[in-house]
Amino acid sequence: MKDIVLYCKSYSKDFLRLRNLLASIQKYNCEQIDFYISTSENERAELERQIGSQGYRWVSDESIVRANPRAPSEIEKTKPGGLAQQVIKSEFWRLGVANNYVCLDSDCIFIQDFRKSDFLASDGHPYTVIYQNKEYHQLAINRNYAKAPRHLQAEAERVKAVFGRNGPNYYCPCPRLFGQLPCGNRLIMNI
């Protein structure tokens, strides 16, 4: 099993964006970290037609869902696309190809060289990016959208209660913005 791999769940409508992501990985991936792409089985031929078959390993969405014996049958076909996508992204680990994976959206690109050490600490634990979302809250309040931050805060409080944690609320960045490394260097950006 690998320490870490890159992974992107994609759809045919995003294959042109995915081509840009793949090109950036091929350009900046200093240690040749494996890159996995999943699509539905019926979109594989279109994927290969638009971006070729080199530079990544393909897996089917269906195989990812089947790797969870408790997953409802054909959830990737019976649930709305956004929900099914989140299920598939969060279940990729079940394939057992890596201990960790960087989950990328098709519209991300890398903008500088990267290595495993950009994602994993020396002890093998993955970095994560969290923040308090103060800018978002202030922007929403300034634009009279105070309801959105209240809902986000209520959700954060519910999650903290599940884990019995007190203290500030932390959030993970949306990959549509960009990935920030702990050192503050911008590595990934949305195009």
For residue range 141-189, what is the model confidence (pLDDT) as tens digits? 899 988 888 888 888 888 788 778 899 988 775 543 333 333 344 455 5
Q: What percent of the chain has pLDDT over 70?
A: 90
**For residue 14, is pLDDT > 90?**
yes
| Per-residue pLDDT tens over the stretch 16-63 | 999 999 999 999 999 999 999 999 999 999 999 999 999 999 999 999
**Hunting for tokens 């309801």 — which residue is that?**
147
pLDDT at 173: 59
Which strands make up the sheet holding 186-190, listed edge to edge? 108-110, 186-190, 178-180
Displacement of CA 138 from its chain's centroid (Å): 26
For residue 177 the two structure tokens come to 């913005």
Could you tell me the pTM of the whole model? 0.76
CA 61 – CA 109 distance, rounded (Å)? 22
| Per-residue pLDDT tens over the stretch 60-70 | 999 999 998 88
Domain boundaries along the sequence of the chain = 2-126+183-190, 134-163
